[in-house]
Amino acid sequence: MIGPLPLRAYAIAILIGIVVAWWILERRYRAKGGPADVSLDVAVWMVIFGIVGARLYHVITTPDPYFGENGDLSKIIRVWEGGLGIWGAVALGAVGAYIGLKRRGLRMAPFADALAPGLLIAQAIGRLGNYFNQELYGRPTDLPWGLEIDRQNIVGGYHEGTLFHPTFLYELIWCLIGAVVLVALERKFKFRGGQSFWMYVMIYTAGRTWIENLRIDEAQVFFGLRLNVWTSLFMFLVATALFLWRTKVVRSEGYEDEIYLEGHGPEDFENRDELATSKSASLKDKTKSETATPDGKEVDGAPAKRAAASTATAVADDPSGAESVPEDDSEGESTSSAKAVTSTEAEEADAATQQAAEAEDAAEATDESDTK
């Protein structure tokens, strides 16, 4: 306890796993050319969606404690008591990652590849919470590393003192070894374009299939196998197919593992800035040539024309707002201030041209007024 706040080992293990996964992700993603600090922003989306998805998957696939005869609906929100399904976390976590990356104009595949080894390590750390909760263990065993469970946490009607397979420990070890194998394969075969992520799914599901078969906690059973066994087998086949497809894609001629979505790279923004500067300079040169005589002297009304043209140019440079036309005195006569010119789409070439036309019209109107 910290004051009135209880400390839950399960929650602490999950939080440590999240931090470690983010730390690995940040360094791997930067090494791939990803922008700084993006991983933290996207990780927030992933964690929120992932926890919700993990809990929903557990509640849906293990409904009796919540909706059964003696079920308690309030248990649904007691995440600290255990009950998070990895497949729900992966599914909704991916949705959260997509939203976060889309907002930044970044592609999914390089980010997923950077995340893959960290996911395995985070899952390994999270399994420590099962030890402290004394849950998700396997059937009885007489092996030296058999786990003794407190009487109130024994399931299946076994007597006190029975030793059980520590299946969460098996998964912890499998995930750590899997992370090392994944990085080794990635370096040897130059994985990219999503290959590392789908290899992660293959590695994890291969271990989860046999580990799940050892467990004796409550679960939905179909055709003699637990639901999570069927899910693991299905996801292994899906991941294998997608890994082979991505391998074919990345080996195709001219493939590049782009970090940014089309039109959102740093060079694209630089080109836009250069285009806006070029348009601004062109408008200034055109206005200057139209307000001067062949001998270089300004024609009547040139000050007002310059003021209107200057405002149009400023709006083209800064489409977010409008600038008011400045006042100009010529030979002791005061001219009226020009009206503000606004534009919302000055970035496009046709909008810039329209601003130049408006400047010319304003200057002609001033000439006519001075003549009268």
The yes-or-no verdict on residue 352 having pLDDT over 80 is no
138: helix, coil or strand?
Answer: strand
CA distances from 230 to 173, 213, 220, 236 (A): 22, 10, 11, 10
Do residues 311 and 323 touch, judged by C-beta distance below 8 A? yes
Domain boundaries, the chain: 9-250, 266-371
pTM for this entry: 0.71
Task: Measure the CA dihedral 254/259/263/265, to 10°.
Answer: -120
Burial (0-12, 13-18, 19+ Cβ within 10 Å), 182: buried
Percent of the chain clearing pLDDT 70 (strictly above):
70
Burial (0-12, 13-18, 19+ Cβ within 10 Å), 65: middle
Residue 275 CA to residue 259 CA, distance in Å, equals 24
Residue 237 has phi, psi (to 5 degrees) of -65, -40
Nearest to 341 by CA among 368, 370, 371, 317: 317
- The pLDDT tens digits of the residues spanning 20-59 come to 999 999 999 999 999 988 999 999 999 999 999 999 999 9
Q: What value does the mean pLDDT of the chain take?
A: 81
- The pLDDT tens digits of the residues spanning 196-206 come to 999 999 999 99
Residue 144 CA to residue 370 CA, distance in Å, equals 105
- The pLDDT tens digits of the residues spanning 293-322 come to 555 555 555 555 555 555 555 544 554 444
Residue 323 has phi, psi (to 5 degrees) of -110, 140
